[in-house]
Structure 1
Amino acid sequence: MLGKQISDGKGKITGQRVLSSDPLQIETSFSESGLVMGVEAMEMGTFVSIPKPGGALYGEGNGVLMTKGGEMATWKGFGVGRQDANGGMSWRGCLYFQTQSTGKFAPLNNATAVFEFDTDAEGNTAGKAWKWE
């Protein structure tokens, strides 16, 4: 069952590169800031996407969430992305979190979440996640 929203951030794609041309693999990195577990946080992530039949992309990635107070959590994720009519991408998928935090991020340890991650043609990003209970 879907639980409460745990993150809401906005940011930018910070880099892209082709890892392989056969099969095609594209690496994308991003940085966002926003609220995670009700606390201002910064997120950095990198994922690798692979084209699939029908125009979708399959992606897997890793990331880190950090607060100014020193709390950290990491995530591993996977999802499916589709290009929109304006040149952006719309991703939907799942995240698995780990943390040693005993503060606000403590509930993220071994938690699973579903996410929405959207980009526009200019490289702006918007991400949201909901805990999967």
Structure 2
Amino acid sequence: MLGEKIGEGSGKVISQRVLPNPGGSPKMETTFQGSGKLMGLASNETGTYSAELRPDGTLFGQGQGLVMGMQGEVASWTGQGVGLPQKDGSIKYRGAIYFDSKSPTWSRLTSIAALFEYEVDAQGHTKGQLFEWK
């Protein structure tokens, strides 16, 4: 069941590159940076994910990232999701991420699974929301 919203943010794709995938489908690596809130605290985030095109036209993505709070909080995450390309050139991802944090303020994140909605438009602008999975 979808629980409370624990994060949201927006940002920009800062780099992309095509990854080797011998014998496989096309695969792209994307890095983004953004700002928002995590557990009610202002934060900055950098994340990198790779997305592989599947035969049905969807994308399977997996990645990792780092979130830093304005008071010195730090959390890392890993996650996976499915991307749905849209006719306007945007992509909508839905998936799950898992955090690790030694920061007292964010330590609760290590004991939960979080579900995300992440979108990137054709110009590389990103936005996302994060919910606790209960």
Shorter-chain TM-score bucket reads over 0.9
Kindly report structure 1 stretches of 4+ aligned residues shifted beyond 6 Å.
none
Superposed, 1:5-84 pairs within 5 Å as: 5-22=5-22, 23=24, 24-84=26-86
* CA distance in structure 2 between the partners assigned to 1:111 and 1:74 by the alignment: 13
Unaligned runs of 5+ in 1: none
Give the TM-score taking structure 1 as reference length.
0.95
Residue 124 of structure 1 corresponds to 125
The one-letter amino acid of 2:9's match is G
Same amino acid, percent of matched pairs: 39
> Following TM superposition, by how much is the alpha carbon of 1:7 offset from its aligned partner in structure 2, in angstroms?
0.6
1:113–1:131: 8 Å Cα contact kept in structure 2?
Answer: yes
> Following TM superposition, by how much is the alpha carbon of 1:25 offset from its aligned partner in structure 2, in angstroms?
1.7
The root-mean-square deviation of aligned C-alpha atoms, in Å, is 1.0
> Following TM superposition, by how much is the alpha carbon of 1:21 offset from its aligned partner in structure 2, in angstroms?
5.0
Q: Deviations over 1:23-68 (max 9, x none)?
A: 2221000011011100000111000111111100101100011012
Give the TM-score taking structure 2 as reference length.
0.94
Residue 89 of structure 1 corresponds to 91
